[in-house]
């Protein structure tokens, strides 16, 4: 049974039903529409997206210098179902173009319609090596809040519970032993709802201290990166640590490996819910409430998954993801190639008309370059990891880094030193897994470094091709 919701009332003398402030009323109005639109037929969703894209193109072509030339010969989107063919005449947008246009001050709108509010800017984490500035509006942030709350509602979270986060990676922030604490789950939820507290801890904290902190917080929900969730789950299972109130683990930021769900389930007996988003776009897809695949958030973004010829991928096919933010008129990102590859899924049995992504494979930099020059995904399955740990049970962390076309560096954090025999067997494991006679060198760390945003990837290609 879903816990009752308590809406914050901004009107003196009214405790229930709550009447929110104007921003909260706007948020509730969006959520009311999202509750209906998730059940629409895909054709209706597509028509509504076309209507918003026409508005976006008109604004960008008129008020954003970068797009005046790019959209000059496009014309209007047709009113019938052929409009995607015209849409695909727009060239995909890459990061280098955004950086160059932003440096020339041609990427930001010269005028905004009334009601979009002030401009806000952030920078991407630069996990691709190419960070970009993103400018958005207060209205975009309101939309972002709506999808934050949708995720909570979809997964039937009890807003009265304690929400713990292990995501802060900034130096000196949310430090052990206390971390940081606030009285609500954050701006998005607290704008309209009464919630329990939120506790945060820096992810650079050693795992044993993270576990000790979690036991003190005794949270109902835990949000963190997949690699952190896996390490916590393994540590808790090995040491018999229970989190008795924990109901769900929520993961963000990194690509989710199947073994993370398994580790969480075995350690704590709770489900894992994953979120697919980027800083510059916001929410792209949320995990289905009834299945482990993802629903594209079509009311917020227009997503295309295309093959090498730029044509739409069918269910079961893997392609490059192009995404258009529907409501950011401050700095429109139209057919933006974020560098991710995903697998398209068939319609969901849950009945929602929102398109399905089966799995998220990651970015080009996570693709292995074979000696032939061909690129492929070096996906590490649970069985792969088990076989590696059979060779060297003391491995705490691992990372494969392709340094040259014929060279793989295996980075390890271990509880005890490995001998020559174990290294030789691990080198052969790498060659067998990757399917080529790579040279393998070893590098040892106390803790394998994460990116500035706290992300961790088990394979990285450092070859610039």
Exposed e or buried b for every residue in 279-317, given b needs 16+ CB within 10 A?
ebbbbbbbbbeeeebbbbbbbbbbbbbbeeeeeebeeee
In angstroms, the CA 393 to CA 300 distance is 45
Coil, strand or helix at 159: coil
Nearest alpha-carbon partner for 113 in 358, 332, 291, 285? 332
Handedness of CA 216, 222, 228, 233 (dihedral sign): positive
pLDDT in tens, the chain (465 residues): 567 889 999 999 998 899 999 999 999 999 999 999 999 999 999 999 999 999 999 999 999 999 999 999 998 999 999 999 999 999 999 988 998 998 899 999 999 999 999 999 887 755 544 567 899 999 999 999 999 999 999 999 999 999 999 998 777 899 999 999 999 999 999 999 999 999 999 988 989 999 999 999 999 999 999 989 999 999 999 999 999 999 999 999 888 988 899 999 999 999 999 999 998 999 999 999 999 999 999 999 999 999 999 999 999 999 999 999 999 999 999 999 998 999 999 999 999 999 999 999 876 657 788 888 887 777 666 677 778 888 988 888 888 999 999 999 999 988 888 999 999 999 999 999 888 999 999 999 988 887 666 677 788 888 875
Q: Are 147 and 163 within 8 A, CB to CB?
A: no
Give pLDDT tens digits for 88-102: 999 999 988 998 998
Spell out the alpha helix ranges (H) of 180-225. 187-190, 207-217
DSSP state of 410: E
Coil, strand or helix at 221: strand
Sequence-distant (6+) residues with CB within 8 A of 84 are: 312
pTM for the whole structure: 0.84
Q: Virtual CA dihedral for 92, 95, 98, 104, nearest 10 degrees?
A: -130
Give pLDDT tens digits for 320-331: 999 999 999 999
Q: Which domains are seen in the chain, by residue range?
A: 1-363 (3.40.50.12780), 368-461 (3.30.300)
Looking at residue 162, its pLDDT comes to 98
Tokens linked to 340: 């991710």
């Amino acid at each position: 049974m879903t816990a009752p919701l308590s809406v914050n009332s901004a009107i003196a003398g009214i405790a229930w039903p709550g009447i929110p402030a104007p921003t909260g009323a706007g948020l509730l109005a969006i959520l009311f529409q999202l509750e209906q639109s998730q059940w629409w037929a895909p054709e209706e969703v597509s028509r509504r997206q076309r209507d918003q894209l026409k508005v976006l193109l008109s604004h960008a072509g008129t008020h954003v210098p970068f797009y005046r030339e790019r959209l000059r010969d496009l014309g209007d989107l047709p009113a019938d179902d052929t409009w995607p063919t015209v849409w695909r005449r727009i060239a995909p947008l890459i990061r280098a173009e955004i950086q160059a246009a932003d440096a020339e001050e041609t990427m930001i709108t010269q005028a905004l319609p009334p009601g979009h509010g002030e401009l806000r800017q952030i920078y991407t984490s630069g996990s691709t090596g190419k960070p970009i500035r993103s400018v958005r509006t207060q209205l975009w942030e309101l939309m972002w809040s709506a999808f934050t709350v949708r995720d909570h509602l979809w997964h039937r979270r009890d807003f009265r519970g304690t929400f713990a986060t292990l995501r802060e990676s900034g130096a000196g922030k949310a430090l052990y032993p206390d971390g940081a604490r606030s009285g609500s789950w954050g701006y998005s939820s607290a704008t309209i709802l009464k919630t329990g507290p939120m506790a945060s801890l820096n992810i650079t904290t050693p795992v044993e201290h993270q576990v000790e902190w979690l036991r003190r917080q005794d949270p109902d929900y835990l949000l963190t990166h997949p690699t952190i969730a896996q390490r916590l789950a393994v540590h808790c299972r090995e040491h018999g640590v229970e989190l008795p109130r924990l109901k769900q683990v929520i993961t963000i930021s990194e690509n989710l490996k199947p073994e993370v769900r398994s580790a969480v389930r075995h350690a704590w007996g709770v489900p894992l819910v994953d979120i697919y988003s980027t800083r510059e776009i916001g929410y792209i897809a949320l995990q289905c409430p009834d299945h482990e695949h993802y629903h594209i958030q079509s009311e917020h973004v227009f997503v295309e998954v295309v093959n090498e010829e730029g044509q739409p991928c069918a269910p079961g096919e893997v392609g490059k993801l192009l995404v258009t933010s529907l409501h950011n008129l401050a700095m429109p990102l139209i057919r933006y190639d974020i560098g991710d590859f995903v697998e398209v899924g068939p319609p969901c049995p849950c009945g929602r008309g929102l398109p399905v992504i089966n799995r998220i494979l990651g970015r080009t930099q996570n693709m292995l370059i074979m000696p032939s020059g061909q690129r492929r995904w070096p996906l590490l399955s649970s069985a792969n990891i088990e076989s590696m740990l059979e060779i060297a049970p003391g491995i705490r962390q691992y990372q494969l880094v392709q340094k040259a076309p014929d060279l793989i560096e295996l980075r390890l954090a271990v509880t005890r030193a490995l001998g020559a025999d174990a290294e030789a067997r691990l080198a052969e494991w790498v060659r067998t897994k990757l399917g080529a006679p790579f040279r393998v060198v070893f590098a040892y760390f106390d803790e394998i470094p994460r990116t500035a945003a706290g992300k961790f990837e088990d394979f990285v290609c450092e070859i610039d091709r």
